[in-house]
Structure 1
Amino acid sequence: MALQRILAVDDEPFNLEIIEEILEDLDFEVKTAISGQECLEIVEAFDPQVILLDVSMPQMSGYEVCKTIKSNPDLQHIIVMFVSARGSVEERMEGYSVGAEDYIVKPFGHSELKAKLLHLGQMLLEKDILEQQVEDATTTAFSAMATSSEMGQIVNFVEQVGAIQDVSELADALIGCLANFGLSCNIEMRVEGERLHFASTGMCSPIVVELFEILHSKGRLHEFTSRILVNYELLSVLILNMPSEDPDKHGRIRDHICFIVSVTEQQLMSILTKNQLLSQQSELNGAIKTIHSKFTGLLSMLNNNRSQNEAIFKRLQELFESRIPTMGLDEDQEVFIFRHIDEAIQSSVAREEAISQVKEAFSEIENDLCLLTNKDGTP
């Protein structure tokens, strides 16, 4: 703020007239006081930016007045310039020790006083700028600390949520994360055709449930008064107490909420996908067991047929070997019969090899199915 108000204090009215005359063309508001006591009586109401303070005054010296002003937290911001007929180093040091910012020695010229006041005015401007910078820096620092703390909460949530594999547990974790931001919420999760509801207070009210149903397909973000509704495909979150009185915090928290809900939506999709895969795997395991049972039955039947065929051919061979020599056949006839018996036996052996190939094929199919379920070769 530019220099506007000056209080001149001197027990000599003539000196005050001179000061007023010097300052009349500088567009300052000037008040005067003829004693230290009068100065203290009007200083709070007038709130001068600069006091031109005579050092040598009866009853209460300028040093005492300055000390009183600087000891008052409401007044210590006022700049004090001592006006004295004596300007020794000791006196200047005394003025500095009680808190004065400047010192001018009587008699002084018009230009000297004006130059000093203009310099003090520049000091006020720079002081205001510095105070604003400090305030801005402080605000930024506190905002950065708040944001850092909030980001810490978000990082913790992201790290923990990946291990959650239950829908209700996921909802509780989301409620807990938002509670760390001082937020109360309602949640709807749309899972396998069902609408599951959770709330910080334990239960969603009927109107909130209706609100979820009406708005979940009407856009990503809805804000009304101190409430905000965030929608994703499987998840909707209604925040009940946004910090509307602080626009910066409100915007920051809104961004945090959108990110947190997005992460929760992804984990919910992961849980549902995993549950679906587990269900499919269970169905596949059942199918593998059924196939294994059927394969086992078929192989058992083939083994029985093989054993029966072996027994039949063995009996037939023994019968022919014992009876043909007694049947009075010539050699060509015996050769003919034995050749056909050998061909039948060879054909049976070929069928045995085919059965072995079928068994190997069955075994390979079972192994391939087991690999699909990440299991070993035993169903």
Structure 2
Amino acid sequence: MTYNPLINLRASYDAGKAQGIVSVCSAHPIVIEAALTRAARLRTAALIEATCNQVNQEGGYTGMTPADFRRYVLDIADRVGLSHERVILGGDHLGPNPWKNLPPQEAMQKACDMIAAYAGAGFVKLHLDASMGCAGEAAHLPDHIVAERAVMMAARAEAHAKTPPVYIIGTEIPTPGGATEALDHLAPTTPESVQATYRVHKASFHAQIPQAWARVIGIVVQPGVEFGHDEIVFYDRGKATRLIRALGNMQGLIYEAHSTDYQPETALSQLVTDGFCILKVGPALTFALREALYGLDDIAQVLDPARARLRDSMENIMLEKPVYWRDHYGDDPAAQRILRHFSYSDRIRYYWPMPAAEKAVDDLLKSFNGQALPETLVSQYLPRFYGRIIDGSLQNDVQAILLQSIQDVLELYGRAARDSIN
């Protein structure tokens, strides 16, 4: 049976020993390897989640079905020596979002087929999110319709699951992946809103699949954290006081916090203490990976000024297929050029799996011929790794540097979540 610390989160919180778990929301192989390597080293669990747009029964933008994604993650686990029992697979925002342009009945049929595929493939953490309107509906639906559709999906999951899954309900506004509007007026979810979501979902579960309600372990809220293209809103627990208190009225549940990317460790630790025990992170991990790749690109350019630059290759790839950034980065060409590469929302992450990008990265890494990097160039272009390389705690190797760039972020989250004591 899969090791699942999720079921103990509320008990730890009630005992005054709040403990969290880091949810890694990425399909990038280096990010997943970094997360699984850390879990193997600490003998803890690794929670890896895929979104409905990344992975679904039609392939998503990764080209993977849930069964494909499971094999993909477990193959990496085998390579790094992490037992399959320590890998927790989750599905994020599972609902009609990929098909919201279709009529509601058709979109929900596809959403139910998707969650059946997730459950059947062994995903044990399922976020039910039917909050978005479909063709002919309002953008945001009333709570009772959202709950009815969530339970419809949960019933399909129950019928196909090999292991009884745990469920997350609710959603946050704005939608995940980074806000596209100004963040001046961001506010935590109100207690009235979260309690209404809780009550209507509880009633719907009890009316249709009462046995599954005990496995609803979390509810998504906005704790007052967010990131945009070039700004971050940091957690202010004083503004979330009423929301924190509301958790006491929702027996068995903890909060799931989306968009926690780029929060400092003190804020993440406070979030866990305050009941936001599931910390989701994604863009911050690929942002750190991109920083390391571009640092290596700078070093390679010094060593061989004639070689093609990774940054130039990525610019060309993004310009040739602007679908993932064009509607997000405004109309100023100069600002667009910077944001394509350096935005906190990190929409460049959608391009790394493309064959041309994979080849550009592979060419960069091969250009070092397996040789150690000159220490002076590491100091110049990758300074946060310099001390560890010269004292021998980090191998002077491009692959080790890439993995460490991600693990540095994961360690920050892990300390805040206190997940190494699992």
Q: TM-score, normalised by structure 1?
A: 0.22
Name the structure with the higher helix share.
1
Asked which structure has the greater CA Rg, the reply is: 1
Higher-RCO chain (CA-CA 8 Å, sequence separation at least 6): 2
Q: TM-score, normalised by structure 2?
A: 0.20
